[in-house]
Structure 1
Amino acid sequence: MAEPGVLILAGTPIGDAAGASPALLAALTEADQIAAEDTRRFRDLCRRLGIAPQAPVLSFFDGNESARVDGLVAQLLDGRRVVVVSDAGMPAVSDPGYRLVAAAAAAGVRVRAVPGPSAVLTALAVSGLPTDRFCFEGFLPRKSGERRTRLASLASEQRTMVFFEAPHRLAVFLADAAAALGAERRAVVCRELTKTHEEILRGTLDELAAWAGGEVRGEITVVVEGAAAVGGSLPEALAAVRLATASGRRLSEAVAEAAVAHGVSRRELYDAALKDRADDTEGRTRR
Protein backbone atom coordinates (compact mmCIF):
# COMPACT_ATOMS: atom_id res chain seq x y z
CA MET A 1 0.00 0.00 0.00
CA ALA A 2 1.33 3.44 -0.93
CA GLU A 3 2.39 5.89 1.74
CA PRO A 4 -0.22 8.64 2.21
CA GLY A 5 0.40 11.79 0.25
CA VAL A 6 0.04 15.34 1.51
CA LEU A 7 -2.76 17.89 1.38
CA ILE A 8 -1.49 21.43 0.84
CA LEU A 9 -3.61 24.52 1.45
CA ALA A 10 -1.99 27.18 -0.70
CA GLY A 11 -2.62 30.83 0.07
CA THR A 12 -2.99 32.91 -3.11
CA PRO A 13 -2.62 36.69 -3.59
CA ILE A 14 -5.67 38.73 -2.52
CA GLY A 15 -5.04 41.23 -5.29
CA ASP A 16 -1.58 42.03 -6.58
CA ALA A 17 0.03 38.90 -8.09
CA ALA A 18 3.36 40.16 -6.75
CA GLY A 19 2.13 38.94 -3.36
CA ALA A 20 2.71 35.33 -4.48
CA SER A 21 5.49 33.57 -2.61
CA PRO A 22 8.13 31.24 -4.09
CA ALA A 23 6.57 28.51 -1.93
CA LEU A 24 3.23 28.98 -3.73
CA LEU A 25 4.88 28.69 -7.15
CA ALA A 26 6.66 25.51 -6.06
CA ALA A 27 3.48 23.98 -4.62
CA LEU A 28 1.55 24.57 -7.83
CA THR A 29 4.25 23.27 -10.17
CA GLU A 30 4.93 20.16 -8.03
CA ALA A 31 1.27 19.20 -7.43
CA ASP A 32 -0.21 15.91 -8.63
CA GLN A 33 -3.76 17.33 -8.37
CA ILE A 34 -5.01 20.89 -7.98
CA ALA A 35 -8.45 21.66 -6.54
CA ALA A 36 -9.40 25.26 -7.41
CA GLU A 37 -12.40 27.29 -6.28
CA ASP A 38 -12.78 28.76 -9.78
CA THR A 39 -10.77 27.05 -12.51
CA ARG A 40 -10.91 30.06 -14.85
CA ARG A 41 -9.62 32.44 -12.18
CA PHE A 42 -6.94 29.94 -11.26
CA ARG A 43 -5.69 29.69 -14.84
CA ASP A 44 -5.67 33.50 -15.05
CA LEU A 45 -3.60 33.62 -11.85
CA CYS A 46 -1.12 31.13 -13.33
CA ARG A 47 -0.87 33.30 -16.44
CA ARG A 48 -0.10 36.36 -14.31
CA LEU A 49 2.45 34.37 -12.32
CA GLY A 50 4.09 33.08 -15.46
CA ILE A 51 3.74 29.39 -14.58
CA ALA A 52 2.06 26.42 -16.27
CA PRO A 53 1.27 23.67 -13.72
CA GLN A 54 1.06 20.20 -15.29
CA ALA A 55 -1.35 18.72 -12.72
CA PRO A 56 -5.03 18.29 -13.61
CA VAL A 57 -7.23 21.07 -12.19
CA LEU A 58 -10.49 20.12 -10.49
CA SER A 59 -13.35 22.53 -9.75
CA PHE A 60 -13.73 22.74 -5.95
CA PHE A 61 -16.21 25.26 -4.53
CA ASP A 62 -18.87 25.43 -1.80
CA GLY A 63 -21.53 23.85 -3.98
CA ASN A 64 -19.55 20.68 -4.81
CA GLU A 65 -16.98 20.40 -1.99
CA SER A 66 -18.85 17.63 -0.15
CA ALA A 67 -19.14 15.56 -3.33
CA ARG A 68 -15.43 15.99 -4.13
CA VAL A 69 -13.99 15.09 -0.72
CA ASP A 70 -14.03 11.28 -1.00
CA GLY A 71 -12.30 11.28 -4.37
CA LEU A 72 -9.60 13.67 -3.20
CA VAL A 73 -9.00 11.71 0.01
CA ALA A 74 -8.64 8.55 -2.10
CA GLN A 75 -5.93 10.30 -4.14
CA LEU A 76 -4.18 11.38 -0.94
CA LEU A 77 -4.25 7.83 0.43
CA ASP A 78 -2.75 6.70 -2.87
CA GLY A 79 0.27 8.89 -2.18
CA ARG A 80 -0.62 11.90 -4.31
CA ARG A 81 0.14 15.55 -3.59
CA VAL A 82 -3.13 17.53 -3.63
CA VAL A 83 -3.03 21.34 -3.59
CA VAL A 84 -6.14 23.38 -2.75
CA VAL A 85 -6.41 27.02 -3.84
CA SER A 86 -9.24 29.51 -3.46
CA ASP A 87 -9.86 32.61 -5.56
CA ALA A 88 -7.92 34.78 -3.12
CA GLY A 89 -6.33 34.27 0.28
CA MET A 90 -6.19 31.15 2.41
CA PRO A 91 -8.44 28.17 1.59
CA ALA A 92 -10.80 27.00 4.36
CA VAL A 93 -11.21 30.55 5.76
CA SER A 94 -14.64 31.59 4.43
CA ASP A 95 -13.62 29.56 1.36
CA PRO A 96 -13.74 25.85 0.41
CA GLY A 97 -11.35 23.49 2.17
CA TYR A 98 -12.57 22.86 5.71
CA ARG A 99 -14.43 19.62 4.90
CA LEU A 100 -11.47 18.23 2.98
CA VAL A 101 -9.02 19.11 5.76
CA ALA A 102 -11.24 17.41 8.35
CA ALA A 103 -11.58 14.26 6.19
CA ALA A 104 -7.85 14.15 5.39
CA ALA A 105 -6.90 14.52 9.04
CA ALA A 106 -9.35 11.77 10.02
CA ALA A 107 -7.75 9.51 7.40
CA GLY A 108 -4.28 10.13 8.80
CA VAL A 109 -3.12 12.26 5.88
CA ARG A 110 -0.58 15.01 6.52
CA VAL A 111 -1.96 18.54 6.02
CA ARG A 112 0.32 21.49 5.29
CA ALA A 113 -0.23 25.15 4.50
CA VAL A 114 1.63 27.51 2.21
CA PRO A 115 1.07 30.86 3.98
CA GLY A 116 -0.14 33.71 1.85
CA PRO A 117 -1.79 37.13 2.05
CA SER A 118 -4.95 37.32 4.17
CA ALA A 119 -7.68 39.93 3.72
CA VAL A 120 -8.58 39.46 7.39
CA LEU A 121 -5.15 40.31 8.79
CA THR A 122 -4.37 42.92 6.12
CA ALA A 123 -7.57 44.85 6.86
CA LEU A 124 -7.04 44.55 10.61
CA ALA A 125 -3.46 45.79 10.36
CA VAL A 126 -4.32 48.92 8.33
CA SER A 127 -7.56 49.72 10.18
CA GLY A 128 -6.03 51.67 13.04
CA LEU A 129 -8.37 49.86 15.44
CA PRO A 130 -7.08 47.72 18.35
CA THR A 131 -5.33 44.57 17.12
CA ASP A 132 -4.39 42.89 20.40
CA ARG A 133 -7.69 40.95 20.47
CA PHE A 134 -9.99 40.39 17.51
CA CYS A 135 -12.56 37.96 16.13
CA PHE A 136 -13.43 37.00 12.56
CA GLU A 137 -17.14 36.78 11.71
CA GLY A 138 -16.83 36.21 7.95
CA PHE A 139 -20.00 36.68 5.89
CA LEU A 140 -23.15 37.25 7.94
CA PRO A 141 -26.50 35.72 6.85
CA ARG A 142 -28.03 37.25 3.73
CA LYS A 143 -31.56 37.37 5.19
CA SER A 144 -32.08 40.65 7.03
CA GLY A 145 -33.69 39.14 10.13
CA GLU A 146 -30.92 36.58 10.63
CA ARG A 147 -28.23 39.20 9.96
CA ARG A 148 -29.72 41.59 12.53
CA THR A 149 -29.96 38.81 15.10
CA ARG A 150 -26.29 37.93 14.60
CA LEU A 151 -25.24 41.58 14.88
CA ALA A 152 -27.34 42.02 18.02
CA SER A 153 -25.50 39.08 19.58
CA LEU A 154 -22.23 40.96 18.97
CA ALA A 155 -23.32 44.23 20.57
CA SER A 156 -21.31 43.60 23.74
CA GLU A 157 -18.32 41.97 22.00
CA GLN A 158 -15.24 43.85 23.22
CA ARG A 159 -12.81 42.50 20.62
CA THR A 160 -12.30 44.22 17.26
CA MET A 161 -14.50 42.44 14.69
CA VAL A 162 -13.68 41.62 11.06
CA PHE A 163 -16.39 40.88 8.49
CA PHE A 164 -16.58 40.05 4.79
CA GLU A 165 -19.44 41.48 2.74
CA ALA A 166 -20.56 41.57 -0.88
CA PRO A 167 -20.49 45.08 -2.38
CA HIS A 168 -24.21 45.09 -3.25
CA ARG A 169 -25.12 44.27 0.38
CA LEU A 170 -22.62 46.61 2.04
CA ALA A 171 -25.08 49.48 2.62
CA VAL A 172 -27.69 47.33 4.39
CA PHE A 173 -24.99 45.55 6.38
CA LEU A 174 -23.57 48.84 7.66
CA ALA A 175 -27.06 50.22 8.41
CA ASP A 176 -27.94 47.08 10.37
CA ALA A 177 -24.57 47.23 12.17
CA ALA A 178 -25.19 50.86 13.11
CA ALA A 179 -28.61 49.94 14.54
CA ALA A 180 -27.30 46.94 16.49
CA LEU A 181 -23.85 48.14 17.59
CA GLY A 182 -24.37 51.88 17.79
CA ALA A 183 -24.29 54.56 15.10
CA GLU A 184 -21.15 56.14 16.57
CA ARG A 185 -19.14 52.89 16.68
CA ARG A 186 -15.90 53.34 14.70
CA ALA A 187 -15.37 51.17 11.65
CA VAL A 188 -13.20 50.83 8.55
CA VAL A 189 -14.26 49.66 5.10
CA CYS A 190 -11.40 48.16 3.08
CA ARG A 191 -12.10 47.82 -0.63
CA GLU A 192 -9.91 46.05 -3.19
CA LEU A 193 -7.02 45.46 -0.77
CA THR A 194 -3.58 45.42 -2.47
CA LYS A 195 -5.16 46.09 -5.87
CA THR A 196 -4.71 49.14 -8.10
CA HIS A 197 -7.90 50.80 -6.89
CA GLU A 198 -7.47 50.00 -3.19
CA GLU A 199 -9.61 52.22 -0.97
CA ILE A 200 -9.69 52.41 2.84
CA LEU A 201 -12.46 54.48 4.42
CA ARG A 202 -12.65 55.26 8.13
CA GLY A 203 -15.59 56.69 10.04
CA THR A 204 -18.54 55.80 12.22
CA LEU A 205 -20.92 53.05 11.14
CA ASP A 206 -23.53 55.72 10.44
CA GLU A 207 -21.14 57.73 8.23
CA LEU A 208 -19.98 54.65 6.34
CA ALA A 209 -23.56 53.45 5.80
CA ALA A 210 -24.36 56.81 4.17
CA TRP A 211 -21.28 56.54 1.95
CA ALA A 212 -22.16 52.98 0.89
CA GLY A 213 -25.55 54.15 -0.38
CA GLY A 214 -23.88 54.90 -3.71
CA GLU A 215 -22.39 52.36 -6.12
CA VAL A 216 -19.75 50.18 -4.49
CA ARG A 217 -17.66 47.59 -6.31
CA GLY A 218 -14.90 45.14 -5.51
CA GLU A 219 -13.92 42.83 -2.65
CA ILE A 220 -14.97 44.23 0.73
CA THR A 221 -13.62 43.67 4.24
CA VAL A 222 -15.11 45.59 7.16
CA VAL A 223 -13.38 46.12 10.53
CA VAL A 224 -15.50 47.32 13.48
CA GLU A 225 -14.24 48.37 16.91
CA GLY A 226 -15.36 46.36 19.91
CA ALA A 227 -17.72 47.54 22.62
CA ALA A 228 -16.34 49.69 25.40
CA ALA A 229 -15.54 47.77 28.59
CA VAL A 230 -17.65 49.83 30.97
CA GLY A 231 -20.04 48.85 33.71
CA GLY A 232 -23.41 50.44 33.04
CA SER A 233 -26.73 50.71 34.75
CA LEU A 234 -29.21 47.93 34.06
CA PRO A 235 -32.22 49.95 35.32
CA GLU A 236 -31.32 52.85 33.01
CA ALA A 237 -30.91 50.47 30.08
CA LEU A 238 -34.26 48.84 30.87
CA ALA A 239 -35.92 52.26 30.94
CA ALA A 240 -34.48 52.96 27.49
CA VAL A 241 -35.88 49.65 26.21
CA ARG A 242 -39.35 50.52 27.58
CA LEU A 243 -39.26 53.87 25.80
CA ALA A 244 -38.08 52.38 22.50
CA THR A 245 -40.63 49.55 22.45
CA ALA A 246 -43.42 51.97 23.38
CA SER A 247 -42.59 53.90 20.20
CA GLY A 248 -42.87 50.75 18.09
CA ARG A 249 -39.32 49.33 18.06
CA ARG A 250 -38.88 45.55 18.16
CA LEU A 251 -37.74 44.28 21.55
CA SER A 252 -34.57 42.62 20.19
CA GLU A 253 -33.49 45.81 18.38
CA ALA A 254 -34.28 48.01 21.40
CA VAL A 255 -32.27 45.72 23.69
CA ALA A 256 -29.27 45.63 21.33
CA GLU A 257 -29.09 49.44 21.09
CA ALA A 258 -29.65 50.03 24.81
CA ALA A 259 -27.05 47.43 25.79
CA VAL A 260 -24.40 49.24 23.74
CA ALA A 261 -25.47 52.72 24.85
CA HIS A 262 -25.50 51.82 28.56
CA GLY A 263 -22.62 49.33 28.63
CA VAL A 264 -24.56 46.35 29.94
CA SER A 265 -24.85 42.71 28.94
CA ARG A 266 -27.32 42.25 26.09
CA ARG A 267 -28.40 38.86 27.48
CA GLU A 268 -29.01 40.22 30.98
CA LEU A 269 -30.91 43.19 29.58
CA TYR A 270 -33.02 40.98 27.33
CA ASP A 271 -33.93 38.70 30.24
CA ALA A 272 -34.79 41.73 32.37
CA ALA A 273 -36.94 43.18 29.56
CA LEU A 274 -38.87 39.92 29.18
CA LYS A 275 -39.52 39.81 32.93
CA ASP A 276 -40.53 43.46 32.89
CA ARG A 277 -42.98 42.80 30.05
CA ALA A 278 -44.43 39.77 31.86
CA ASP A 279 -44.82 41.74 35.11
CA ASP A 280 -46.53 44.56 33.23
CA THR A 281 -48.96 42.15 31.56
CA GLU A 282 -49.74 40.46 34.89
CA GLY A 283 -50.36 43.83 36.53
CA ARG A 284 -52.85 44.89 33.85
CA THR A 285 -54.64 41.55 34.15
CA ARG A 286 -55.12 41.97 37.89
CA ARG A 287 -56.55 45.42 37.39
Structure 2
Amino acid sequence: MIRPLLMGVVLCVVYGSSKPTEKTSRVHDDGRNHDYDHEAFLGREEARSFEQLRPEESRRRLSIIVDKMDRDGDGFVSGAELNDWIKRAQMQHVSDSVAAQWDDFDADADGRISWDEYKNVTYGSYLGKDTPSPRPRPALHSHWSPPTESPQTDGDYNYTHMMMRDERRFRVADGNGDMVANKQEFTAFLHPEEHEHMKDVVVQETIEDVDKNGDGLIDLQEYIGDMYLSEDDEDEPDWVTKERQQFAEFRDKNDDGKMDREETLDWILPPDYDHAAAEAQHLLHEADADQDGKLSKEEILDKLDVFVGSQVTDFGEALLRHDEF
Protein backbone atom coordinates (compact mmCIF):
# COMPACT_ATOMS: atom_id res chain seq x y z
CA MET A 1 0.00 0.00 0.00
CA ILE A 2 1.05 3.59 -0.45
CA ARG A 3 2.46 5.35 2.57
CA PRO A 4 1.19 8.93 2.77
CA LEU A 5 3.79 11.21 1.22
CA LEU A 6 2.98 14.86 1.78
CA MET A 7 4.30 17.03 -1.01
CA GLY A 8 5.44 20.58 -1.49
CA VAL A 9 7.76 22.99 0.23
CA VAL A 10 5.72 25.16 2.50
CA LEU A 11 2.49 23.37 1.86
CA CYS A 12 3.72 20.11 3.18
CA VAL A 13 3.86 21.29 6.69
CA VAL A 14 1.49 19.32 8.87
CA TYR A 15 -1.00 20.24 11.57
CA GLY A 16 -1.32 16.63 12.54
CA SER A 17 -1.59 14.68 15.72
CA SER A 18 -0.74 15.99 19.16
CA LYS A 19 2.73 14.50 18.87
CA PRO A 20 5.34 17.25 19.10
CA THR A 21 7.11 16.39 15.89
CA GLU A 22 5.83 15.48 12.50
CA LYS A 23 7.72 16.10 9.34
CA THR A 24 6.98 17.66 6.04
CA SER A 25 7.43 15.36 3.15
CA ARG A 26 10.36 15.03 0.91
CA VAL A 27 10.04 18.53 -0.32
CA HIS A 28 10.12 18.10 -4.08
CA ASP A 29 8.03 15.43 -5.74
CA ASP A 30 6.96 15.12 -9.37
CA GLY A 31 4.01 12.87 -8.57
CA ARG A 32 0.85 14.93 -8.89
CA ASN A 33 -2.52 14.50 -7.26
CA HIS A 34 -5.48 16.77 -6.70
CA ASP A 35 -4.82 17.20 -2.96
CA TYR A 36 -1.40 18.63 -3.80
CA ASP A 37 -2.90 21.01 -6.37
CA HIS A 38 -5.59 22.18 -3.96
CA GLU A 39 -3.09 23.01 -1.22
CA ALA A 40 -0.76 24.79 -3.63
CA PHE A 41 -3.57 26.86 -5.08
CA LEU A 42 -5.52 27.63 -1.91
CA GLY A 43 -3.23 26.92 1.00
CA ARG A 44 -3.70 23.95 3.31
CA GLU A 45 -6.48 25.23 5.57
CA GLU A 46 -8.51 26.83 2.76
CA ALA A 47 -8.19 23.63 0.72
CA ARG A 48 -9.65 21.66 3.60
CA SER A 49 -12.53 24.13 3.81
CA PHE A 50 -13.34 23.81 0.13
CA GLU A 51 -13.38 20.03 0.34
CA GLN A 52 -16.32 20.30 2.74
CA LEU A 53 -18.42 22.54 0.49
CA ARG A 54 -21.19 21.59 -1.87
CA PRO A 55 -20.20 21.91 -5.56
CA GLU A 56 -22.28 25.01 -6.18
CA GLU A 57 -20.70 26.82 -3.20
CA SER A 58 -17.22 25.73 -4.26
CA ARG A 59 -17.92 27.07 -7.73
CA ARG A 60 -19.16 30.38 -6.36
CA ARG A 61 -16.12 30.84 -4.13
CA LEU A 62 -13.71 29.82 -6.86
CA SER A 63 -15.29 32.41 -9.15
CA ILE A 64 -14.50 35.11 -6.58
CA ILE A 65 -10.91 33.87 -6.31
CA VAL A 66 -10.49 33.97 -10.09
CA ASP A 67 -11.54 37.64 -10.11
CA LYS A 68 -8.88 38.37 -7.50
CA MET A 69 -6.22 36.50 -9.43
CA ASP A 70 -6.94 38.50 -12.58
CA ARG A 71 -4.86 41.50 -11.51
CA ASP A 72 -4.97 43.32 -14.85
CA GLY A 73 -8.72 42.80 -15.28
CA ASP A 74 -8.50 41.42 -18.80
CA GLY A 75 -10.83 38.52 -18.05
CA PHE A 76 -8.06 35.91 -18.08
CA VAL A 77 -5.59 34.46 -15.59
CA SER A 78 -2.10 34.38 -17.05
CA GLY A 79 0.66 32.03 -15.99
CA ALA A 80 2.33 34.92 -14.16
CA GLU A 81 -0.85 35.78 -12.28
CA LEU A 82 -1.32 32.14 -11.32
CA ASN A 83 2.30 31.96 -10.18
CA ASP A 84 1.88 35.10 -8.06
CA TRP A 85 -1.27 33.69 -6.46
CA ILE A 86 0.42 30.42 -5.50
CA LYS A 87 3.39 32.28 -4.00
CA ARG A 88 0.96 34.40 -2.00
CA ALA A 89 -0.74 31.24 -0.72
CA GLN A 90 2.64 29.86 0.34
CA MET A 91 3.60 33.02 2.22
CA GLN A 92 0.19 33.26 3.86
CA HIS A 93 0.39 29.67 5.06
CA VAL A 94 3.73 30.27 6.75
CA SER A 95 2.52 33.49 8.35
CA ASP A 96 -0.72 31.93 9.55
CA SER A 97 0.97 28.87 11.02
CA VAL A 98 3.39 30.99 13.04
CA ALA A 99 0.65 33.35 14.23
CA ALA A 100 -1.60 30.43 15.21
CA GLN A 101 1.05 29.02 17.55
CA TRP A 102 2.86 32.08 18.82
CA ASP A 103 0.72 32.75 21.89
CA ASP A 104 0.83 29.08 22.90
CA PHE A 105 4.59 29.19 23.31
CA ASP A 106 5.20 32.81 24.36
CA ALA A 107 4.25 32.04 27.94
CA ASP A 108 5.39 35.36 29.44
CA ALA A 109 3.99 37.41 26.52
CA ASP A 110 7.26 39.28 26.01
CA GLY A 111 7.18 38.95 22.23
CA ARG A 112 9.86 36.26 22.16
CA ILE A 113 9.91 32.49 22.65
CA SER A 114 12.75 30.93 24.59
CA TRP A 115 13.81 27.32 24.19
CA ASP A 116 12.65 26.68 27.76
CA GLU A 117 9.20 28.07 26.95
CA TYR A 118 8.90 25.92 23.86
CA LYS A 119 10.25 22.84 25.64
CA ASN A 120 7.99 23.20 28.65
CA VAL A 121 4.83 23.65 26.58
CA THR A 122 5.63 20.93 24.06
CA TYR A 123 7.25 18.33 26.29
CA GLY A 124 6.09 19.41 29.75
CA SER A 125 3.88 16.40 30.40
CA TYR A 126 6.75 14.09 29.46
CA LEU A 127 9.14 16.00 31.69
CA GLY A 128 6.83 15.68 34.68
CA LYS A 129 5.48 19.23 34.41
CA ASP A 130 1.81 20.11 34.47
CA THR A 131 1.76 22.08 31.24
CA PRO A 132 -1.12 22.34 28.76
CA SER A 133 -0.54 20.97 25.28
CA PRO A 134 -0.24 23.55 22.48
CA ARG A 135 -1.53 23.36 18.98
CA PRO A 136 0.73 20.82 17.27
CA ARG A 137 3.51 22.55 15.39
CA PRO A 138 4.53 21.62 11.87
CA ALA A 139 7.89 19.92 11.65
CA LEU A 140 9.93 17.61 9.53
CA HIS A 141 9.14 14.22 11.08
CA SER A 142 6.39 11.80 10.01
CA HIS A 143 7.54 8.22 10.36
CA TRP A 144 10.75 8.28 12.32
CA SER A 145 11.57 5.04 14.16
CA PRO A 146 12.99 5.88 17.60
CA PRO A 147 15.94 4.15 19.21
CA THR A 148 15.07 1.74 22.01
CA GLU A 149 17.48 2.86 24.69
CA SER A 150 15.55 5.88 25.97
CA PRO A 151 12.98 5.28 28.73
CA GLN A 152 10.61 8.08 27.70
CA THR A 153 8.56 6.43 24.97
CA ASP A 154 4.91 6.43 23.97
CA GLY A 155 4.12 3.90 21.29
CA ASP A 156 6.35 4.67 18.31
CA TYR A 157 7.39 8.05 19.70
CA ASN A 158 10.51 8.74 21.71
CA TYR A 159 10.11 12.14 23.25
CA THR A 160 13.63 12.47 24.61
CA HIS A 161 15.05 11.94 21.14
CA MET A 162 12.55 14.30 19.54
CA MET A 163 13.26 16.96 22.13
CA MET A 164 16.96 16.71 21.31
CA ARG A 165 16.16 17.09 17.63
CA ASP A 166 13.98 20.10 18.30
CA GLU A 167 16.69 21.69 20.43
CA ARG A 168 19.22 21.17 17.65
CA ARG A 169 16.89 22.81 15.16
CA PHE A 170 16.10 25.65 17.58
CA ARG A 171 19.83 26.36 18.00
CA VAL A 172 20.31 26.60 14.25
CA ALA A 173 17.28 28.87 13.86
CA ASP A 174 18.45 31.09 16.73
CA GLY A 175 20.67 33.54 14.89
CA ASN A 176 22.33 35.24 17.86
CA GLY A 177 22.74 32.13 20.00
CA ASP A 178 20.80 33.33 23.04
CA MET A 179 18.25 30.47 22.77
CA VAL A 180 15.43 33.00 22.58
CA ALA A 181 13.59 33.27 19.26
CA ASN A 182 12.01 36.34 17.76
CA LYS A 183 9.31 35.98 15.09
CA GLN A 184 11.83 35.56 12.28
CA GLU A 185 13.85 32.95 14.16
CA PHE A 186 10.74 31.06 15.26
CA THR A 187 9.51 31.05 11.67
CA ALA A 188 12.82 29.47 10.62
CA PHE A 189 12.37 26.89 13.36
CA LEU A 190 8.85 25.97 12.25
CA HIS A 191 9.55 26.18 8.52
CA PRO A 192 13.24 25.37 8.06
CA GLU A 193 12.82 24.38 4.42
CA GLU A 194 12.19 28.05 3.62
CA HIS A 195 15.50 29.32 4.99
CA GLU A 196 18.94 28.91 3.49
CA HIS A 197 20.76 28.65 6.82
CA MET A 198 18.45 25.79 7.88
CA LYS A 199 19.22 23.47 4.96
CA ASP A 200 21.77 21.37 6.84
CA VAL A 201 19.35 20.55 9.63
CA VAL A 202 16.62 19.72 7.09
CA VAL A 203 19.00 17.26 5.43
CA GLN A 204 20.06 15.79 8.77
CA GLU A 205 16.49 15.21 9.90
CA THR A 206 15.55 13.71 6.55
CA ILE A 207 18.44 11.24 6.69
CA GLU A 208 17.55 10.33 10.28
CA ASP A 209 13.96 9.65 9.21
CA VAL A 210 14.72 7.60 6.11
CA ASP A 211 18.01 5.88 6.98
CA LYS A 212 16.92 2.68 8.69
CA ASN A 213 20.27 0.90 8.95
CA GLY A 214 22.01 3.85 10.62
CA ASP A 215 24.87 4.27 8.14
CA GLY A 216 24.10 7.94 7.55
CA LEU A 217 23.16 7.32 3.93
CA ILE A 218 19.95 6.53 2.04
CA ASP A 219 19.97 3.44 -0.14
CA LEU A 220 17.38 2.45 -2.74
CA GLN A 221 15.39 0.28 -0.36
CA GLU A 222 15.19 3.07 2.21
CA TYR A 223 14.31 5.61 -0.49
CA ILE A 224 11.41 3.53 -1.81
CA GLY A 225 10.37 2.50 1.69
CA ASP A 226 9.92 6.15 2.60
CA MET A 227 7.16 6.42 0.00
CA TYR A 228 5.72 2.97 -0.45
CA LEU A 229 5.08 -0.13 1.66
CA SER A 230 4.36 -3.16 -0.48
CA GLU A 231 1.91 -5.92 0.33
CA ASP A 232 2.78 -9.54 -0.45
CA ASP A 233 -0.06 -9.89 -2.95
CA GLU A 234 0.27 -6.44 -4.47
CA ASP A 235 1.93 -5.59 -7.77
CA GLU A 236 4.29 -2.65 -7.60
CA PRO A 237 2.65 0.48 -9.08
CA ASP A 238 4.20 2.06 -12.15
CA TRP A 239 5.13 5.19 -10.22
CA VAL A 240 7.27 3.13 -7.84
CA THR A 241 9.13 1.62 -10.79
CA LYS A 242 9.71 5.14 -12.08
CA GLU A 243 11.03 6.19 -8.68
CA ARG A 244 13.54 3.36 -8.81
CA GLN A 245 14.70 4.72 -12.15
CA GLN A 246 14.81 8.24 -10.71
CA PHE A 247 17.04 7.01 -7.91
CA ALA A 248 19.47 5.32 -10.28
CA GLU A 249 19.56 8.06 -12.90
CA PHE A 250 19.23 11.27 -10.91
CA ARG A 251 19.32 10.81 -7.12
CA ASP A 252 22.46 8.66 -6.80
CA LYS A 253 24.78 10.94 -8.72
CA ASN A 254 28.02 9.12 -7.91
CA ASP A 255 26.56 5.66 -8.63
CA ASP A 256 27.55 4.17 -5.27
CA GLY A 257 24.03 2.87 -4.59
CA LYS A 258 23.30 5.41 -1.85
CA MET A 259 22.47 9.08 -1.36
CA ASP A 260 24.89 11.08 0.76
CA ARG A 261 24.13 14.46 2.34
CA GLU A 262 24.70 16.46 -0.83
CA GLU A 263 22.58 14.11 -2.91
CA THR A 264 19.86 14.16 -0.25
CA LEU A 265 19.85 17.96 -0.34
CA ASP A 266 19.40 17.89 -4.11
CA TRP A 267 16.49 15.50 -3.62
CA ILE A 268 14.52 17.42 -1.01
CA LEU A 269 15.54 20.99 -1.89
CA PRO A 270 16.63 21.00 -5.55
CA PRO A 271 18.49 24.26 -6.21
CA ASP A 272 16.81 25.15 -9.49
CA TYR A 273 13.28 24.08 -8.60
CA ASP A 274 10.64 26.81 -8.27
CA HIS A 275 7.65 25.17 -6.64
CA ALA A 276 5.19 27.97 -7.43
CA ALA A 277 6.24 28.19 -11.09
CA ALA A 278 6.06 24.40 -11.52
CA GLU A 279 2.61 24.22 -9.94
CA ALA A 280 1.37 27.18 -12.02
CA GLN A 281 2.60 25.48 -15.19
CA HIS A 282 0.93 22.23 -14.16
CA LEU A 283 -2.43 23.89 -13.44
CA LEU A 284 -2.23 25.83 -16.69
CA HIS A 285 -1.63 22.62 -18.58
CA GLU A 286 -4.56 20.92 -16.83
CA ALA A 287 -7.11 23.67 -17.45
CA ASP A 288 -6.10 25.49 -20.65
CA ALA A 289 -8.64 23.83 -22.95
CA ASP A 290 -8.06 26.09 -25.96
CA GLN A 291 -4.27 26.07 -25.52
CA ASP A 292 -3.96 29.86 -25.69
CA GLY A 293 -1.55 30.04 -22.75
CA LYS A 294 -4.01 31.66 -20.34
CA LEU A 295 -7.09 30.64 -18.40
CA SER A 296 -10.58 32.04 -18.70
CA LYS A 297 -12.89 31.88 -15.72
CA GLU A 298 -14.90 29.22 -17.55
CA GLU A 299 -11.82 27.06 -18.06
CA ILE A 300 -10.95 27.25 -14.37
CA LEU A 301 -14.49 26.55 -13.22
CA ASP A 302 -14.71 23.62 -15.62
CA LYS A 303 -11.72 22.14 -13.75
CA LEU A 304 -13.21 22.67 -10.30
CA ASP A 305 -11.88 19.32 -9.07
CA VAL A 306 -8.31 20.27 -10.01
CA PHE A 307 -8.34 23.68 -8.35
CA VAL A 308 -10.42 23.29 -5.21
CA GLY A 309 -11.60 19.74 -4.64
CA SER A 310 -14.22 17.25 -5.61
CA GLN A 311 -15.10 15.70 -2.24
CA VAL A 312 -18.72 16.52 -1.39
CA THR A 313 -19.95 16.24 2.19
CA ASP A 314 -22.89 17.52 4.19
CA PHE A 315 -20.81 19.93 6.25
CA GLY A 316 -20.84 22.91 3.90
CA GLU A 317 -23.47 24.82 5.80
CA ALA A 318 -21.57 24.48 9.07
CA LEU A 319 -18.32 25.82 7.62
CA LEU A 320 -17.09 29.15 8.85
CA ARG A 321 -17.60 31.76 6.16
CA HIS A 322 -14.69 34.06 5.42
CA ASP A 323 -15.38 37.74 4.80
CA GLU A 324 -14.11 37.64 1.24
CA PHE A 325 -16.84 35.16 0.31
TM-score relative to the length of structure 2: 0.22
Higher RCO (C-alpha 8 Å, min separation 6): 2
Structure with larger Rg:
1
Q: Which has the higher strand share?
A: 1
TM-score relative to the length of structure 1: 0.23
Q: Which has the higher helix share?
A: 2
